Homo-oligomer: A and B are copies of this chain.
Amino acid sequence: MKPPPPGLRVRLPAFVCVAQVAVVASYAAFVTYDEHADARFQTNATVAADNALYADYPAFAHIQVMIFLGFGCLLAFFRLYGFGGMVFNFLTAAFTIQWAVLAQGYFRFSRGGVIRLGVINLVNAEFACAAVLISCGAVLGRTGPLQLLVLALLEVPVLACTEWAVLEHLRIHDAGGSILVHLFACYFGLGVSFALYRPGLNDGHPKATAGYRADILSAMGTLFLWVFWPSFNAALALKGDDQHRAVLHTFLGLSGSTLAAFALSAALNRDGKISMVDVQNATLAGGVAVGASVDMMISPAAAYALGVAGCAVCMLGFRYLTPFLARRCRIQDQCGIHNLHGLAGLVSCAAGICGILMADEETYGPSLYETFAHMAPPEGDPRLRELRVLVPGLKPGLGRSAREQALYQVAAVVAVVGVAAVGGVLTGFVLKLPQLAAPPDELCFDDRLFFEVPPDYDSAVPLADVTPEDSAADEHLVM
Inter-subunit contact B145/A262 (CB<8 Å):
yes
With contacts A255-B94, A455-B471 known, is A83 near B216, CB below 8 A? yes
Verify A83–B12 contact, CB threshold 8 A. no
User: Is A119 a contact of B279 with CB atoms below 8 Å?
Assistant: no
- Given A209-B454, A239-B48, A460-B456, A297 and B39 touching (CB < 8 A)? yes
Docked complex: A35-75 residues within 8 A CB-CB of B: 36-44, 46, 48-49, 51-53, 55, 57-58, 60-62, 64-65, 68-69, 72-73
* B82 engages A216 (CB within 8 Å): yes
- Whether A106 sits at the interface, judged by CB under 8 Å, is no
With A27-B301, A450-B274 given, is the CB distance from A266 to B90 under 8 Å? no
Question: Within 8 Å of chain B (Cβ to Cβ): is A308?
Answer: yes
Which one of B61, B272, B389, B465 lies within 8 Å of A228 (CB-CB)?
A: B61
Q: Which residue of B lies closest to A224 (CB)?
A: B69
Q: Name the residue among A97, A217, A272, A276 with the largest chain B CB count within 10 angstroms.
A: A272
Listed stretches A3-11, A163-171, A197-205; interface member: A3-11
A244 to B52, Cβ gap below 8 A? yes
Q: When the two chains form the complex, which single residue of B33, B53, B471 contacts A297, counting CB atoms closer than 8 Å?
A: B33
B452 touches A220 (CB 8 A): no
Q: Which residues of chain A from 120 to 170 have any CB-CB distance to chain B below 8 Å in the complex?
A: 122, 145
In the complex, identify which listed stretch (A14-22, A173-181, A182-190, A316-324) lies at the interface while the others stay far away. Answer: A14-22
Beta-carbon contacts under 8 Å, A207-248 to B: 209-217, 219-220, 223-224, 226-228, 230-231, 238-245, 247-248
Instruction: State the 3 A-B residue pairs at the shortest beta-carbon distance, nearest first.
Output: A9-B272, A48-B240, A452-B472
